[in-house]
Amino acid sequence: MNPLTRHRKLLENKKVERWYSNLKARSQITSDTYIRNFGLWLEYLNLDPDSIISMARDNFDEFKGAVSDVIRDLEKKGTMGSSISTSLKAVLSYLKFNNASVKLGINITNENRNLKAEKEVIPTKDEIAKVLRIATLRERVSISLMAFTGLRPEVLGNIDGTNGLTIGDIPDLKIKDGKIVYEHMPVQISVRPELSKIRTAYFTFLGPEGSEYLKEYLDARMTSGERLTTKSPVILPIEKQSSEKKNRFLLTTLLLRRIKKTIAKAGFEWRPYIFRIYFGTNLDSAEAKGLISHPWRQFIMGHKGDIEETYTKREGKVDEGREQYSKCLSFIETVEHSKSQGDIKKSVMVEILSLVLGYTQDKIDQLDLDKMSNEDFQNLIKKGLLGNMTGNGTRQKIVSEKEIEQYMNQGYEVFTTLPSGKIVMKLSL
């Protein structure tokens, strides 16, 4: 049911209609949520849009008492304090718009605590994978876009189904000879201002796992006869829905309802929003490891940050973001990918520094191994070995493969092999 259905008649009042339109100019989600909550409070107080203004302005004590009584009654019924506080904001907003601002000064138990959210445990990769396995193609993509890119559900389809993410919002996705191809990986996903909570454009990325789910879903749609264009919704309301239908995009409420059913089918009781929380939490872990900067973490999540004012003006920002996001994939995706040559090289370097030079992890973390050339690394090893020899005499040597036998005869044994192919030998005690 559309959130406005129950209280649609309120819009016949000119004061309400103007207030609603003012809210809608900034956010339709806020406007629809507020009018629903405003209607509920009118029922609680047994007032109408005009009398609530008069009572708040001319008889404040009575108004405050009535509101206080409702709050206490809702608390007794078990309504969360945060929910009461949120719903009351609609009343205060309406009064302020109509020049009847009030400061109630009424305490609400736990108004700043979301008790349900506090009890939530962030899903593990295995749990996310379980949900994805049993999801339909459409729900699998919807969940992936929240869990692997951090998109809010309203981006996929807004509250009335009139706007949402389109194929054209994924610039790396191309359709060539009837096949889905990606020009870059991870895939860039652009969020238009009208879909963004911060009302400014931003972009995020989707890695190999989510991109494969998206490809499977779009392939199935093309097989069924749908002709995909840049204006096609990424998530259809129903399978094979015609673009001539009134709601071209899946309504946010229906999207969340379908995801909720998928979660329940997997045996969990999460809120659908947990997938975005999963993404944000794992980005935090990646940030703590130095894999992504805080400004990029904020930007990809669709928060206001250091990059949002300048990213469209600077060349190379997309590639920079793609590189940082790529480093976080092991924290986000449920499918393990084979290590790149760069990852393998870095692992070898870390092992050598630890075993040969005795570096601690803290000391290794201070080095920028990703940008260190082979020559610089070899010089670092030589310098470290010379330092060791100061205290250890000539207990370690770097030799060629041809010299191994010679030094073994002198009591040395092979310790490790450097990336250059040279051998580190250590004198046996």
On whether residue 295 sits in a domain, the answer given is: no
On whether residue 292 sits in a domain, the answer given is: no
Nearest CA-CA partner of 425 in 378, 385, 390: 385
Q: Using the 3D structure, point to which of 49, 83, 117 is the last residue of a domain.
A: 117
pTM: 0.67
Same structural domain, 135 and 104: no
On whether residue 158 sits in a domain, the answer given is: yes
Same structural domain, 135 and 260: yes
User: Which residue ranges in the chain fall short of pLDDT 50?
Assistant: 1-3, 240-244, 313-315, 390-393, 429
pLDDT for 371 equals 73
pLDDT for 241 equals 42
Same structural domain, 132 and 256: yes
On whether residue 380 sits in a domain, the answer given is: yes
On whether residue 285 sits in a domain, the answer given is: no
Same structural domain, 129 and 223: yes
Give rounded-to-5 percent helix, strand, coil for the chain.
Answer: 55, 10, 40
For residues 53 and 99, is the Cβ–Cβ distance under 8 A?
no
Same structural domain, 182 and 263: yes
Report the half-sphere exposure of 276 (CA within 13 A, side-chain side). 19
Domain of residue 234, CATH code: 1.10.443.10
Same structural domain, 248 and 209: yes
Same structural domain, 65 and 203: no
pLDDT for 314 equals 47
Q: Using the 3D structure, point to which of 244, 259, 277 is the last residue of a domain.
A: 277
Q: Which residues of 87-120 are buried (b: 16+ CB within 10 A; e: fewer)?
A: bbebbbbbbebbebeeebebebeebeeeeeeeee
pLDDT, tens only, 377-387 = 777 877 776 66
> If you write DSSP's letter for every residue of 57-111 in order, what string do you get?
HH-HHHHHHHHHHHHHHHHHTT--HHHHHHHHHHHHHHHHHTT---------TTT
Same structural domain, 86 and 160: no
Q: What is the DSSP letter of 233?
A: B
**Structural domain that includes position 385:** 341-427
Same structural domain, 130 and 273: yes
On whether residue 286 sits in a domain, the answer given is: no
pLDDT for 329 equals 94
Q: What is the DSSP letter of 173?
A: E
Q: Which two tokens stand for residue 23?
A: 């809210």
Same structural domain, 48 and 172: no
Q: Using the 3D structure, point to which of 79, 98, 117 is the last residue of a domain.
A: 117
Same structural domain, 269 and 173: yes
Q: Which helix (H) or strand (E) holds 203?
A: strand 202-206
Domain count, the chain: 3
On whether residue 36 sits in a domain, the answer given is: yes
pLDDT for 21 equals 93
On whether residue 54 sits in a domain, the answer given is: yes
Same structural domain, 399 and 257: no
